[in-house]
Amino acid sequence: MRDLAIVILAAGHGTRMKSRRQKVLHEVGGKPMVQHVVDAAWGVAGRKPFLVVGPRETGARDLFGDRVGTVIQEERLGTGHAVQMAAPVLAGQAEQVLVMYGDMPLLRPETLQLLAQKQAATGAALSMLTMIGPPDSTYGRILRDEDGGVCEIMEVAQAGRRPDAEAILAIRELNVGVYCFQAEWLWANVPHLPLRQARSGVEYYLTDLVEMAINQGRVVEAVILEDADEGLGAGTRAELAQVEAAFHRRTTRKWLEAGVTLVDPAATYIDPTVTIGQDTIVWPNTFIQSGSVIGRDCRIGPNTILRAVSLGDGCCVEQIVLEGVTLPANTTLPPFTYMTAEQKHE
């Protein structure tokens, strides 16, 4: 989709993470969260996305090099302000602009494509991802009119000040924070966002564009996620653990459907860069990492760590640690073996 530009909001400090590292650089599934997001962006747009980062945050820029463009947000004045900073480099460059967060590593390219198609097909000012979530969620609620159309996003803090707060907070449809805008409409309207009071000062909220579109008589479309896990973001360590658990569920489901036996999926950890052949059996407390390639009919584990290894068909490795090692087909190593590439060639 060459007429789609993508903006990834990645300027968060990681304050709620209690971390010295930039939030989006924390890992899920063996690689930084923002790397998953950039991969998804490339998968849907086929062109470099633009990361909005803070002035002293070089980690994300160093990670990608020229695979992404960067926009510096000198002052953190909210999500709307972050998108405003991208206008000089993206205005007039595409028909659509997709905006998402760098801490949402479970988003799929297929979902982003569906969102973009919805905006293009309807001519809406914007389309947005929503999900059905728990009543205690901190995500904004989606308010709809009598005809079922989106009319407002109500943040939890706003809802709490209203007399009908209980009814609003009971709404299960939640704002995910991923939007696809008609580009011309976005760049014409984002400079006019109102400045609002926030916990740490004043901010421009991207969500206010929904109300602006409705007031102009424009349509706002919503695409409800079939897999609510895609809507998960990680702003705290607890949320990071939830995202990791969801990523783990996705990965194990993939291998079970591909003909690999995982004796205890909850106690098996497989990086997304790994390849495993059919009819291989993986026993509990096993970690397969760093692009390892496992053949067919292997027996892996229990209590095994494999990093950047290549195992031929029919190998058996049990209670073993291997790193950077290649084993021919039908190799069986004794339990409690520890072997690296350097040790193998000594």
Catalytic residues: 16
Across-strand partners of 300? 282, 317
CA 95-99-101 angle, to 5 degrees, is 160
Helices (H), 287-332: none
Give the helix/strand (H/E) hosting 96. Answer: strand 96-101
Taking a C-beta distance cutoff of 8 angstroms, is the pair 254, 246 a contact? no
- HSE-CB at 32 with a 13 A cutoff on CA atoms is 17
Phi-psi region of 132 (alpha: psi -120 to 50; beta: other; left: phi over 0): beta
Tabulate helix, strand, coil % of the chain (nearest 5): 30, 30, 40
User: Which run of H or E residues covers position 215?
Assistant: helix 208-215
User: Which CA distances in Å does 44 have to 87, 98, 105, 153, 259?
Assistant: 21, 10, 15, 26, 28
Buried b (16+ CB within 10 A) or exposed e, 141-163: bbeeeeeeebbbbbeeeebeeee
Residue position matching structure tokens 């901010």 = 203
Which helix (H) or strand (E) is 249 found in, with range? helix 237-257
Q: How far apart are the first and last CA of the chain?
A: 51
DSSP 8-state class, residue 137: -
Q: 116 exposed, middle or buried (CB, 10 Å; 0-12, 13-18, 19+)?
A: buried
Q: Across-strand partners of 322? A: 306, 339
